Amino acid sequence: MAEKILIIDDDVDTLRLVGLMLQRQGYIISAASNGSQGLAKALEERPDLILLDVMMPDMDGYEVTSRLRKNPATVSIPILMFTAKTQLDDKVTGFEVGADDYLTKPTHPTELQAHVKALLARTAQKGTGEITTALHEHHGYVIGVLSARGGLGVSSLASNLAAGLFTRSQTDVILAELTPGQGTLGMDLGAPNQTGLTEILQGSVVEVTREKVQSVLVPHNSGIKLLLASENPRDVTLTSQIQNYEALVGRLASFARFIVLDLGIGLPTFVQKILPMCNEQMVVLEGSPSTIQHTKFLLDEIAALGIDRKTVNVILNNRQRSEAQMPWTKVQEKLGHSIATTLTPAPELFQQATRMQTPAVMSQPTNMTSQQFLKIADSVIEREKAR
């Protein structure tokens, strides 16, 4: 995808000429004719680079740079100052307020292009370094929970597994719902209208810092920390922010002993990138022929990502009491993959948990289904210790 360059200059000729020059090089160009307009566009568009004139009537380039550097949303955008001034002091002032590079007018097109390419390349390397650093911070045990289709209980398993891990280990546990626009855990756990995940995904990858991720974690009375997806359907487009997802999971893994990821349905691109980062994967299904077939396809695709099938634990979730439920042995045979655990139907348990705005294992810890969740947590802890 072509990089976007924002040009902020009160000289119309400069805007036109420089803009055309860079457009011919394949860049997407946005323009602002004064400092205030430039600040607004920088916040709205998050360009990859800002070309900024120093001498402007309403707000000079130094002030614009200073404000950009004070805003977390624009602090990392590279700035190339562009001015007719040649005095050394002016350049020093530019660097002191946060400019990355400096050119004087008039400049040769080849020189401008060289500086632009160098700045963009430097920023790309920095972004990659941030992700690598985040991944290397990893020390927590990450579990990704997903299913082949909706309505099978992914969020229920994820939330109760997280609560069970906290109950058993009494250590830091994070439950992260990574499905923007499809959030349900916030309402179920008494923390609706959360925008934490949206904020993480909307910015650039270099903004996914430890401080930023920590600031959006929500403590819950169950003892776990939550990162929740919004309920706004429009936010589903944020699943395209792949680098942000990778950096986010790396950061989360440095904050807690256990990190449970609610990955939702299927294998969108972001899930394909995240699953290999997980220490283990849990796939939820029910005992119906169509779901078994869909899950079989899902398991094949997970293996195609290079993930060892042995790290994939399949959970059979019998959500309703019915004589038509297929025995787990039959499900296992048709699936061609071992069933790690079977959950018995307990609709009253989950209704009570929703009323209490807490995971089921916290509302009735002695219930048979709650005990099954706790056994899953015990198995995870054993595998975590053995890694």
Q: How far apart are CA 80 and CA 54, in angstroms?
A: 10
Q: What is the pLDDT of residue 181?
A: 94
Tell me: do 99 and 117 sit in the same domain.
yes
* DSSP-based three-state secondary structure for 2: coil
Q: How far apart are CA 293 and CA 344, in angstroms?
A: 21
Tell me: do 288 and 188 sit in the same domain.
yes
Tell me: do 124 and 154 sit in the same domain.
no
Which residues share a beta bridge with 285?
316
Tell me: do 371 and 225 sit in the same domain.
yes
Tell me: do 162 and 264 sit in the same domain.
yes
Quick check: bond before 180 cis, omega within 30?
Answer: no
Q: What is the pLDDT of residue 132?
A: 47
Q: What is the pLDDT of residue 126?
A: 55
Tell me: do 316 and 380 sit in the same domain.
yes
Tell me: do 83 and 148 sit in the same domain.
no
- H helix or E strand, kind and range, residue 226: strand 225-227
Domain hosting residue 32, numbered range: 4-133
Of 69, 102, 133, the domain-final residue? 133
**Residues near 194 by Cβ (< 8 Å), separated by ≥ 6?**
183, 186, 218, 226, 228, 229, 230
Of 133, 148, 167, the domain-final residue? 133
Tell me: do 129 and 143 sit in the same domain.
no
Q: How far apart are CA 30 and CA 38, in angstroms?
A: 10
pTM > 0.95: yes or no = no
DSSP assignment of 251-269 equals: HHTTT-SEEEEEEEES--H
Return the closest-CA partner of residue 220 out of 159, 261, 153, 264: 159
Q: What is the pLDDT of residue 102?
A: 87
Return the closest-CA partner of residue 197 out of 142, 247, 157, 151: 247
- Give the Cβ contact number of residue 189 at 10 Å: 27
Tell me: do 52 and 162 sit in the same domain.
no
Q: For residues 163 and 224, is the Cβ–Cβ distance under 8 A?
A: yes
DSSP assignment of 131-160 equals: HHHHHHT--SEEEEEEESSSSS-HHHHHHH
Residue with tokens 């923390």: 191
Tell me: do 256 and 326 sit in the same domain.
yes
Tell me: do 114 and 146 sit in the same domain.
no
Q: For residues 143 and 380, is the Cβ–Cβ distance under 8 A?
A: yes
- H helix or E strand, kind and range, residue 83: strand 79-83
Q: How far apart are CA 361 and CA 369, in angstroms?
A: 8
Instruction: Kindly list the averaged pLDDT for each block of 10 residues, start to end, along the chain of length 387.
Output: 87 87 90 91 89 89 89 84 69 82 82 90 61 54 96 95 95 96 92 90 86 92 94 94 91 93 97 93 94 96 92 89 78 95 91 91 93 96 92
Q: How far apart are CA 321 and CA 328, in angstroms?
A: 14
**CATH number, domain at 341?**
3.40.50.300
Q: How far apart are CA 274 and CA 129, in angstroms?
A: 18
**CATH number, domain at 110?**
3.40.50.2300
Q: How far apart are CA 104 and CA 74, in angstroms?
A: 24
Report the domain count for the chain. Answer: 2
Q: What is the pLDDT of residue 96?
A: 81
Of 81, 102, 133, the domain-final residue? 133
Q: What is the pLDDT of residue 205?
A: 82
Two tokens, residue 291: 């779901």
Query: 197-231 burial string, b = 16+ CB within 10 Å, else e?
Result: bbbbbbbbbbbbbeebbeebbeebebbbbbbbbbb
Tell me: do 228 and 191 sit in the same domain.
yes
